Structures are given as C-alpha cells and as structure tokens.
Structure 1
Amino acid sequence: MEDRTGSRIFRIGVLGVAVSIAAAVCIARLAWLQALPGVLPAAADWAGRAVAGRFDRLVVDTGRGRIVDRNGLSLVGLPYPALAAFPVRGPRGSDAQYRKLAETVGMPPDELRGWLDGLEEPAFLRDREGRAPLRLGSREAGEAEAAGLAGVHVLTWTPRDSSVLGAQHVVGFLSRDPGLLAELYAEEAARGEVPLDTQIGAMGLERSLEKLLRGPGPVVVQRRRSAGGEPVGDGLRIAGKAGGYHPLTVRTTLDGLLQRKLSSLADRAGLEEGAIVVLDAATGDLLAMVSRPAYDPLRLAPDLAGTENHALRAVPPGSIFKIVTLAAALDAGVVHPRERFRCDGEYGRYGLSCWKEGGHGELTPEEAFAQSCNVAFAAMAERLTPEQLAAAADRLGFGRPLIRPVRRPGAGGDIRPLPEEESGCIFAGRPDAGDGGLLAQTAIGQRDAAATPLQAAAAVAALVNGGRVPAPRIVAEIRYADGSRMAAFAPAESPSRFGRISSRTAAFLMRGMEAVVREGTGRALRDAAWPLAGKSGTAQAVKDGRPVNHQWFAGYGPVGKPRYTAAVVALNRPAGSPHLAAELFRQVMDCLAAHEASSASVR
C-alpha cells in the first residue's frame, strides 16, 4: 500500500514539474515577443503578425500631420464618409438589401455583389476612377447603413490628396521608396518600427517635412475574428497609437481658395507647360503657386510625369532680365536716366538685332525699357563689367535660392521647405574677357542666363519695397495636436552679399514697368480690373529640334498701392504665337481683384 502511495506521489510530482516547465516556457515566449522587438526586427514582425492574425484591419487615416493654408483650410482634403466592407463567410443579406445598397452607391447590384463576394481583406469601395474611396453624402451614408448587409459599414476616411485645391506641386505626394525610407529612418527600420512598404513624402512639403509630418502611426478600424476566421463580437473597434502632441499641423502661407481659382484659370487659359507665382507684395509670402502640366498625386505616372514644379525651375528669362541690366547700369552710373539711345533695328555685332523691324529710333532708358529694345540694352550692357551685372542680379535675388528656410525644432539646423527650388545662374562659368557678345546677349536674358518664376516675382517685390528682396515664406507656423505652438516663422529678407539696389533705382524701374503697360509691350493689360505694371519677356529656345519661345510676364498691381507681385511663364510656345504669359498675367490680376472683393463681402 505504501509503495502505491509513493508511486502516486512521484507521478504527481513529475506532472507538476512538467506543468511548471510548460508555464515557464509560455511566460518566456511572451516575454520574448514583447521585449525583443526593439532588438530583433524579426521578433517584432512575428509579434505583429501574431496580433494581426486575430483581427481584420482597415486603415482609415495615415496619421500624418495636417497641412493647411493661411486660414486653416486643409490642403490635403477633409475627412468624409465612405463605404467599407469586411470579408464574410456565408450570405450577407437578401437580394432586396443588395439592391438597396447598390442603388445608394450607384452600382449595378451584380457588380456590387461581385465586389463584396471577392473580398479577402477589408477594403473601401472606390470611386469609378479607382483613385480614392467613394465619397458618400449624409443621405447616402444613412441609406448605406440602413441597407443592413453583414460586414458592410460606413466609416470616416481621411484622404491625403494634395490636388484638392490644386496645390500638389507645393504640398507634394507620398510614395513607397524603400531606399529613401531606409535613409531617413535607418534606426527605426532596423528595429522593425517602420515597415519598408510605408508611404513617405517624396516631393514638396511632404518630403522636406517628412519627419515632422510622419505622426504616431495610422488609425485603423479593426474587427476581431476567431482562429477559424469567423467574426467575434458584434462591432468594430478603432485602434491607433497614442500620439501625445502628434500629429502636428503645418500652417502655410498659401491661400487655398485663391490657389484653386488660379489652378482652374491656368487650364482655361490653355497653359500646357509653365507656371504662375503670386506673392504678397509687402511680406513676400507665397500666396499661390501653380505649375503645368498637372499630375494626380493618387495615381502617379511611372516616370513621375507632371511632377516637375516649373515655378521653381530655372529657364532663360528673356527680356524680364532687362530689369537687372537697367538696375546695374543706373547704380553703376554708366547710364543717365535722361540719356538717349539710337535703335535702327540692328546692333551691328554678335548677330544681335531688335525685335522691331527698322528699330525704335531714339529712346530714353525708360522708353527703351517700355519698348523692350534689344539694341539699347546691348549698348547699356557693354558699359558694364560682368561682375557688375552679376552683382546687380544677386541684389535682386537672381542666381540664388530664396525661399525662407524652416528651422528644425529641437534638433537645430535648417530645412528647405521646397527642395526642388533651383538657383538659376547669370554666367555658366567664369566670364571670358574675349567673349564680346557675352554681356550683350546676357543683358537681354539669353545666353546662359536662367531664372525661376519665383525669383522674377521676388525681384518685382524687391522694387516695390525699395530694394529689399524677400525670402518668400511658405511655412508660417507648426502647431502640436493640442493647438499649442511648436514653432513660428516670421517674414524675412533675403539679403545679398552685395547689398541692395538703391531706392532711387527701384523707383525708376517701377515707373518703367508702368510705362510698359501704358505705352509699351504690355498695352494689352490696360483694360484690366486694376491699373497694372510689369515687364514682358520672350526667350528663344529649341525643343526637339524646333524653335520655341519661353514667354514671360512679371509685374505688380494695383499701381499706386501694390498688394501683389506675380510672375507667369508659358514654356515652349510655338515661335510667333500670341504672348500667352502677358494675357494670363492680366487674368491672374483680375482674379486677385475678384478674390479680394469676394473675401471682403464674406467678412
């Protein structure tokens, strides 16, 4: 009897030890899954799959920071109701329920049923173009819920669409770029915290402010399911990482409604390739920036066609560069304001001629500016040195980047908000004293001269402000999720190492711009809503072996009390075609006048 009792006690002891060992293994396994992800990415991935395996998940918000205009209007879209569906085993409902939902979303019932039956993971019903979840109105959202199909829900979708107000060339887009992600988030990727297929900013503000905009992670709607794949419980749960002060909000200087109006205007005017830039004349703030061709940030072309921002790309400026030439000549004292120049149509050297056959006759510098006389400006330029011309260009903001940088909060250092901005140039290399035509041809905006529309608009703003070149602002402030301010960036000057042009020269050039519209090459602008002033330009170029023109117009309005400066460029126009840039500049200013009036009436 004692032997049996002893044997039973021994077996119970062995069983207890086995149970203890099994429990210890389980506890150790759980600890490994929780503690090691920070050390071993594979463990993090395993743990993530283990959790994800118990839930169906649908991302409803990327969790990225908001990008808004100067008035708080979202530049990437506002949340809206959309139809979402989760996989279901078995019937979802009756034929009548399918028909009711199909009618609500505007689909044939069989097509809707086919979409729902084919789901292997949760998804939103997309619009006809397939670019985004189908937007439901409040009535449609109520009817969709009332249809009562199993696994079908109306959820709030938060878009990330920078084209909603036509600001995609400024805001940028998101894309999957494992190489760039590994570069930006090397440590996080090594720890498995950032999956390599994560979308990140690839252009514009989305790219430059990526680390500020990234946020705490996506917001997901999840449904619990059993090991057999059946739904557990009767509802959905919202899951997302606690963000604390995140996501951030970046407030820009753009006027979103104006941006949308000018974007539409560019298309109506037939601007196939080019740009429009509008600045606040007093502060230099960037109010609108439109580039064509456009692109769809949700359906990018394989070669990223259309993503190039022509407002920041440097091309030959043509005769708007005469602003620089005249400023250099006046400030250097090599030209007197009342001096007279003779134009017979041919300069006699370097193959340079005036655009007007037979010439302009005798002209003062102001008249030569208004008539855009190549012969007179070639004569002025040959009195200058290359250094004087280059210094005047620098003093007006040409040949260097201008956009106000953003100071990186905490870490220090500066961020270029629009890294696509090009510097342009005056001379491609060190000027050759033996190159006789260099100054004459550069003076009229040809040869190696290259400028951006942003620089042209900023140069006009410099004249309006007595020679002070602005550093155009695009980011005004950054705020935490609770509304408190992280950082603010005030309007600033972009000083030249050569100083400023004189206020007297700035005033003379403004009078010359008024003469352009009053009696010169910009006479077509005289019927605009406001009195305007500016400078036209046409640069000769070659594309695909054929001659083309880059047409320019840069100026300000209204005359007397300038509130806006603007630059328009129409690229690669057929030689001899109407001057689209001048006409579009007038329309831009008329749009600004109407926009001011509508904004005042709202207030």
Structure 2
Amino acid sequence: MKRIMTRSLILWFVTFAFLAGTIYLGVITVINHNKWVQQPFNGHMASSADLGNAGKITDRNKTVLAHSEDGKRYYADDSTTREALLHVVGDESLNISTGIQSRYRTNLSGYNFVVGAGLPESLRPNSDISLTVSANSCRAAYAALGSHKGACVVYNYKTGEVLCDVSTPSYDPANPPTITEDNESEYDGVYLDNVVSSTFTPGSTFKIITAAAAIENIPDIYNQSFTCNGSIDMDGNPITCESAHGTQSFSEAFANSCNCAFAQIAVQVGEEKMKATAEKLGFNNDSYMMSEIPIAKSHYDATGMGNNSLAWSGIGQQEDLANPMLMAMIASSVANGGTAASPYIVNDDGNLINKLNITINKNKDVGMLSSDTASKVKELMHGSAEHYSSQGVSIAGLPFCAKTGTAEVGHGKEPTAWFVGFIDDPSHPYAFAAVVTEGGYGIQAATPVVSAAVSALVN
C-alpha cells in the first residue's frame, strides 16, 4: 500500500510539473513571440517580412517617415529628414539593427501570432507604427552636428518619451551608398545609432557622478576648500586643469569644472565607493532598454588603480566610457528627485495590447539617487548653467541645469565634446545629452546641438 501511495505521489508530481511547464511555455511564447520570430536565423520571416508591403512609420506629429506603395518602400519627402532619422527608422538593408524597420519588422509586416505572415494584405492587422520623436527636432540637431560624428538625444524626463534621437555619420536611405575601401573611413560606424549603441569618454560630465559620490560619502564635503594652481601632483604624476582657479568651495569647483579639485575628491571617496555610485547611476549595467532597443553598457571601474589613475577616472578620463542615452537618464534622475524615467521611442506598434491602453513600450523607471542627493546635484548643475549662461549659452530661453565635458582621447585627435543636463521647467521637462567627437570644447561644440534640438521642440 505504501509503495502504491509513493507511486501515486510521483505520478501526481510529474503530471503537475508537465502542466506547469506547458502553461509556462505558452505564456512566454505569447509574450516573446514577436522577439523570437524576427531573429536573423528565421529565414521564413526574413523572406516574408518584405518592407515593400510594410506599414507606415510616423513621428509624433504624424509626419510620414516611411511607407510602402506598389511593393516599394519610400521614405520621408526631404533628404534632411531621411538622413536625420536614418538610425531611428533604419533602411532596407536592415544593417542598422536598432532601427524600427529591423527591431519591429514583424509588426510592420502585419505578422499575426496565430497565422504567421501568411495573411493577404487586405486581411492583415494594422501594421503602422507611430513614434515619439519629432522630425523637426531631429532635423535641427542633425544640422547642428554637421560633419562631425556624434549623437544627440532629448527625452521627456517625466513620461520617458524620446523626442530627439540623432546619430552621425548618416546617409540617405532612399539612395544608400556603396561602401568600399576608398570611402569606408567616411562611413565608419554609420550603421550604429550612437545614442543607444555607442560609448564615449565622458570627460567632465562624469563629475556629476563624482559629485554624487562625494555628497553621499564625504560628510564635510561642503566645508572643504580646494586650491587649484593649474595642476596637482598625484603619485608623482600631474593632474592638469584648464586654468588656475585658486581657492574654491565644492560648489565653485563643480561650476569651474576644476580637475584638480575633483581629482582630490575622487581619491577621498575611494575606488570602491566611486564604483558603487557609478553603478547606482547605471554604469556597468547592460539591462537598460529604450522600448525594445538595448542601450549599450557604460563602463567605470577604478579597482586596483593607483591614486593618479583613480583621480583621472573621477574627472571622466582613464578608462571611463559613457553612453549618451544613459547620461540623459542620469540627468533625468537629478531632475526627478532621484528617479530616471525609462526611455521609450515607440508610441504605438499596432499591437492589440496597446489598443487596450496597456503600454508595452515603457520599461520600469530606475531609482538612481536619494531625493536629497538629487536635490544637491541639481544645485551644482544649476550653478554650472549660470556659468554657461554668462558665456552666452541659451537653450530656447528656458532655465536649465547642465554640465559640459571636454574629453581628451589622445592619438592626436581633438577632444570629444559633451553637454548633459535638463530643462528646469515643468512645461518643458526635457533631459538631454549631446556628444561631438573631435569637437573640441563642450561649450562650443555640444551646447549648440542641444540648443537647436530643444528650440525646435519649443517653437
């Protein structure tokens, strides 16, 4: 009898496990079918998802960015819009893996979970996709970037809507270039959306992270003073500054972007706490997404470094690498009292779940800072903005908090220019990041890009 009972229990356990596994498989299949079906190894889908019959892609103002007619794919009417939004929309080569035409090609093709892609066009579900970006803002940022390689992102730090996503170099998807050995340097990195897929040396914009680390780990940081004579010796090697700032407070050192002061601050914080703060602010994390588009992992690790290298890392040099979208998220966390709005770029992908007003485009918001730390970092960035305003920087006449960066990259190249911050106005809750490679000073090269993008949104 005991043996029969044991066998019965085993049978019941196996039956329950089978049913639970079947239910689990069914649930994850429903949830992930779109992602799975558009994998590159799915030859059936690759041949069926013909962009010549794909749905429309529109911006937030219903401007048509791509549509199909008579079996052909057409893009926006003017070439500047096509080039400015290349990396957001993608082209027919599907080489831009983060583009909507690559990432959402099952939606655009009218793929149906039950019958696949086999329905005739007249019976297919809605396959149009509307985006959160503004074509006007993207055009303005693209023009401001000019011939430089770089990126610009502006997003709503309350809702998470990405309003501007521009990457250079670019090309016209209506007339794609033939890339050869003779011209490949001109198109180096052209298939990457630098907003989400690239990282750059952050320079002084990383002082936002170092400042947060100091606020949270150095109790008397606001009572300290720092003397800058243009350079400081650290482990027998100099840390240099753009000018001699004299004796200054913590707040003044941030506004002056003083390397000597922030080198000392990074060493005071120490390598473990510097890394912990950087990771709390999203560095070394590859799980962030913009809608269903992965955001490249930013890098910070001062473990085992001597004081000189730790000092350089605290001012955004050494091996530091930052992604523009993440830097905009950090600015969002400062503006939002410590929580970064999760960015999304797809407003409606034709999915039934969207029609029921259950958003699938927005990921969970990210807690990065305490409200007290965020408030204090905001004050520091406001002080920097006053400094920039005195030098003629204006962002559509709106109040802003920000930090520039001028990152040395060596190899005889001009520095990489950065501008990171947010508009301090509840009517225009925009966080932003712009990066211009070989642009020189951030205040000269990167601020005009943000100004152009935001002005187009406001006006």
TM > 0.5 fold call: yes
Report if aligned partners of 1:403, 1:472 keep a CA contact under 8 Å in 2.
no
| Corresponding residue for residue 311 of structure 1 | 195
After TM superposition, give the deviation of residue 553 of structure 1 in Å.
0.7
1:281 aligned residue (157, 163, 166): 157
Give the distance between the partners of 2:271 and 2:322, measured in 1 at CA: 17
Q: CA deviation at 1:455?
A: 1.2
For residues 376 and 110 of structure 2, the distance between their equivalents in structure 1, rounded to whole angstroms, comes to: 51
Matched residue, 1:466: 337
C-alpha offsets along residues 204-262 of structure 1, whole Å, 9 cap, x if unaligned?
22222223323379xxxxxxxxxxxxxxxxxxxxxx92453435222222123332333
1:70 aligns with 2:60: yes
The amino acid across from 1:159 in the alignment is Y
Output the CA distance in 1 between the equivalents of 2:384 and 2:458. 21
Does 1:355 pair with 2:241? yes
Superposition deviation, residue 382 in structure 1: 0.6
Whether contact under 8 Å (1:331, 1:501) holds in the other structure is no
Q: Which amino acid aligns with 2:105?
A: E
Residue 294 of structure 1 is aligned with which of 167, 170, 176?
A: 170
Identify the residue that residue 328 of structure 1 maps to in structure 2. 213
Deviation at 1:539, TM superposition (A): 0.5
Per-residue deviation, 1:203? 4.6
- Is residue 343–residue 362 contact of structure 1 (8 Å, CA) maintained in 2? yes
Query: Is residue 2:143 matched to residue 1:272?
Result: no
Please show how residues 421-436 of structure 1 align to structure 2 within 5 Å: 421-427=295-301, 431-432=303-304, 435-436=306-307
Q: Which of 74, 77, 99 matches 1:159?
A: 74
Question: Which residue does 1:168 correspond to in 2?
Answer: 86
560, 563, 569: which is aligned to 2:429? 563
Assess if the C-alpha contact under 8 Å between 1:70 and 1:253 holds in 2. Answer: yes
CA deviation string 1:279-338 (max 9, x = no partner): 112122211111112212233334482232222210100000000001011112355224
| Corresponding residue number in structure 1 for 2:25 | none
Q: Secondary structure of 1:479's match?
A: coil
State the Cα deviation string for residues 538-587 of structure 1 (Å, max 9, x = none). 10013xx42320011111224576511111111023x6797211233333
User: TM-score, normalized by length of structure 1?
Assistant: 0.58
TM-score by length of 2: 0.75
Highest relative contact order (Cα 8 Å, sep 6+), 1 or 2? Answer: 2
Output the CA distance in 1 between the equivalents of 2:390 and 2:288.
29
Q: Match of 1:593?
A: 458
- For 1:356, give the aligned amino acid: E
Question: 1:7 — aligned with what?
Answer: none
Conservation of the 8 A alpha-carbon contact between 1:471 and 1:492: yes
For the 8 Å contact 1:331–1:502, the answer to whether it is kept is no
Q: Which residue of 2 aligns with 1:258?
A: 137
The code of the aligned residue for 2:383 comes to: A
Is the Cα–Cα contact under 8 Å of residues 479 and 485 in structure 1 kept in the other structure?
no
Instruction: Give me the identity figure in percent.
Output: 25
Q: Tell me if structure 1 keeps the 8 A contact 2:140–2:453.
A: no
Confirm or deny: 8 A CA contact 2:200 2:322 kept in the other structure: yes
Instruction: Tell me, yes or no, if the aligned pair for 1:424 and 1:452 is still in contact at 8 Å.
Output: yes
- How far apart, CA to CA, are the structure 1 residues paired with 2:441 and 2:135? 35
Partner of 1:246: 125
| Cα displacement (A) at 1:381 | 0.6
Matches within 5 A, 1:86-485: 159-160=74-75, 164-165=81-82, 166-175=84-93, 202-215=97-110, 241-242=120-121, 244-266=123-145, 270-303=146-179, 305=187, 306-312=190-196, 313-349=198-234, 351-357=237-243, 359-401=244-286, 403-404=288-289, 416-417=292-293, 419=294, 421-427=295-301, 431-432=303-304, 435-479=306-350, 484=355
1:532–1:173 Cα change, 3 Å: same
Structure-2 change in CA distance of 1:480 and 1:382 (3 Å):
closer
Partner-residue secondary structure (3-state), 1:290:
strand
Conserved? CA contact 2:136–2:456, under 8 Å = no
Structure 1 CA distance for aligned equivalents of residues 159 and 94 of structure 2: 37
SS in 2 for 1:591: helix
Cα gap change, 1:363/1:423 in structure 2, threshold over 3 Å: closer, same or farther?
same
Evaluate the alpha carbon distance shift between residue 393 and residue 325 of structure 1 in structure 2; reply closer, same or farther with a 3 A threshold: same
* Cα separation, 2, equivalents of 1:63 and 1:78: 6
Matched residues in 2 for 1:539 and 1:290: separation? 21
Distance 1:562 1:158, change over 3 A: closer
Contact 2:404 2:443 in 1 (8 A): no
Residue by residue over 1:493-520, the C-alpha shift from the partner in whole angstroms, topping out at 9 and shown as x without a partner, is 443xxx6322111111111112112136
Superposition CA RMSD, Å: 3.3
Three-state SS of the structure 1 residue aligned to 2:151 is strand
Task: Say if 1:297 and 1:249 are closer, same or farther in 2 by CA, change over 3 A.
Answer: same
Q: Secondary structure, in 3 states, of the residue corresponding to 2:299? A: coil
Residues 549 and 571, structure 1, Cα contact 8 Å, conserved in 2: yes
Q: Residue type of the partner of 1:346?
A: S
Equivalent residues, number: 390
Give me the whole-angstrom Cα distance separating, in 1, the residues matched to 2:428 and 2:51: 42
Match of 1:540 in 2: 408
Contact 1:378 1:444 in 2 (8 A): yes
CA distance in 2, matches of 1:576, 1:563: 26
